[in-house]
Structure formats: structure tokens, C-alpha cells
Amino acid sequence: MATWTQTLVRKLKVGAHQATVVDNRIISPNIRVVRLAAPSFVDAGFSPGCKVKLRVGPKAMRSYTPLGWDDAGGWVDILFHLHGSGPGSDWARGAATGDGIEVRGPVKSMSTDHDDPDWTLFLGDETTLGLAATVRTVTPNARNFGAVELDRLDVAAPDVLGLQVEPVIRNGIRGAALQRWLRDCELPEGYGVVWISGHAGTAKLLKQAIAERKRNDVSVNFKAYWDRPKDRAKGRGLT
């Protein structure tokens, strides 16, 4: 019979994969898509709205949203925003074919369980492009639209990725351009789902702006992806 430590070790190993970089594609100056392959991805169970954790440094695990995958082929594509310096951003910048990396997951991060919406609105930033790509596949019959705030250099990224979201160029305060876009956006009639993700401060303000529309036939799917250290210190942990 297994001891409790053996059971614990087995549980911790569930969803742990040793993956290899097979491609690192430049989408735009600050956006990369890295393809990772592992034999164990074949039955990993990737699904729209799931997340994985990557060991991007000896003591650094970071969360990412698969942009695409092929179960039978045993690969997953991860979109990285090269935002400056950080173990995740640095790892993606330098990832080369043949490099190894530990991947944990996937686990469910955002629910895609919605009753056939008439429309969906997606709001986010560079870090949410993977999420935008996959959640759309769950509502093929809805009018899917939205906007993503990006640095001017990366404005072509949604188009290169084949995503139907409007690129909104970041200008001045982070999130201000996207808030303006939303202010000018008329929400369609019928049952709608609004996806809000990306930078925590922006996401919070967008959620508030949707709530102010007072539509009881609209549900909001919200998840903050990253924040500034001073905000994190206030205790809002991101997982």
C-alpha cells in the first residue's frame, strides 16, 4: 500500500509534463507564439479557457492560456507578451527549438459554460489573445466581437493570428483607450456574454462600466491576468 507521502508525490505529479520547444514564431515585435510538444500532451485535456503553468526559471512558475493545441499531435501553442523583463517574458524571447520546459496543467481557469448567447464581447490586452482565440470556438453561432488594447508596435497581431477583435492602440494611461472604445460601443440586443481579462486595474474598470449599463441579460466572465507589484502587495494574488 502506498504511504501518504507517495500518494502526495503522485498527486503533485498529475498534469506535469516535460515539454520541448518545437517552434518560436514572431507574431509582432512584442508577441511570440511558442509551440511546445510532449508525448503526455496527447491525453492532457486542453480546452477553451484552460490555463497551464510553465517553469520559466528555477524558482519561477508563470500562468499562460493555450492559444491552440492538437491532442493527437501532442503539441500546444502558447502566446507570450514580451512586456519587458520578467522570467516568463525573458524565457519566451530566448526559447529555441530543442529547449526543454516543465509544463503543469492544464486546469480550468475560466468557465465557457453559457447557454447559447446571442452575442459575446471580448475585452483584453496582449496577454489575452490566446483566450480570445479559443473561447470564440465555443460560441460559433453568436455574434462574436470585441477589442484588445495593444502597444502600437503590435497592432497587427490580431490580424496575423486571424482573430476577429479590433486592435485598440494604447495611448497614455493603460486601459484608457479600451475604456473609451467600450463607452462608444452599443451592446447588442439579446443574451450576451462579456469576457474581461488582462491587466487587473483595467479589467476592474471595464467590469464596472458593463455593470453600469444595468443589463440583466448580460453575464460577465472576468479574470485579472497580471498586475503591478505595488497592487499585488495589497494582497490581490493572481493565480
Ligand X SMILES: Cc1cc2nc3c(=O)[nH]c(=O)nc-3n(C[C@H](O)[C@H](O)[C@H](O)COP(=O)(O)OP(=O)(O)OC[C@H]3O[C@@H](n4cnc5c(N)ncnc54)[C@H](O)[C@@H]3O)c2cc1C
**The binder of ligand X chosen from 89, 112, 179, 219 (CB under 6 A):** 89
Which stretches of 95-187 are DSSP H helices? 129-135, 157-160, 176-183
How does DSSP classify residue 88? H
Here's the x/- map for ligand X, 114-153, by CB under 6 A: it reads as ------------xx--x-----------------------
83 touches ligand X (CB under 6 A): yes
Q: Count of residues binding ligand X (CB under 6 A)?
A: 26
Q: For residue 29, give every residue at least 6 positions away whose Cβ sits within 8 Å of its Cβ, in sequence order, or none.
A: 82, 153, 154
Cα angle: 220, vertex 221, 225; to 5 degrees:
130
Q: Which is nearer to ligand X, 64 or 75 (CB)?
A: 64
* Stretch of residues binding ligand X (CB under 6 A), selected from 35-43, 68-76, 87-95, 182-190: 87-95
Residue 70 beta carbon to ligand X: minimum distance, rounded to whole angstroms: 18
86 touches ligand X (CB under 6 A): yes
35 touches ligand X (CB under 6 A): no
Tell me if 126 sits within 8 A of 163, measured CB to CB.
Answer: no
**The binder of ligand X chosen from 62, 104, 136, 170 (CB under 6 A):** 62
Residue 121 beta carbon to ligand X: minimum distance, rounded to whole angstroms: 19
Centre a 10 Å sphere on the Cβ of residue 209 and count the other Cβ atoms it contains.
17
Residue 191 beta carbon to ligand X: minimum distance, rounded to whole angstroms: 26
202 touches ligand X (CB under 6 A): no
Cell numbers representing residue 165 in the block: 477583435
Q: Which is nearer to ligand X, 5 or 239 (CB)?
A: 239
**The binder of ligand X chosen from 17, 81, 136, 170 (CB under 6 A):** 81
Cell numbers representing residue 132 in the block: 480570445
For helices 176-183 and 200-211, the axis angle rounded to 10 degrees is 20
**Short-list 119, 130, 115, 125, CA closest to 36:** 130
Residue 17 beta carbon to ligand X: minimum distance, rounded to whole angstroms: 17
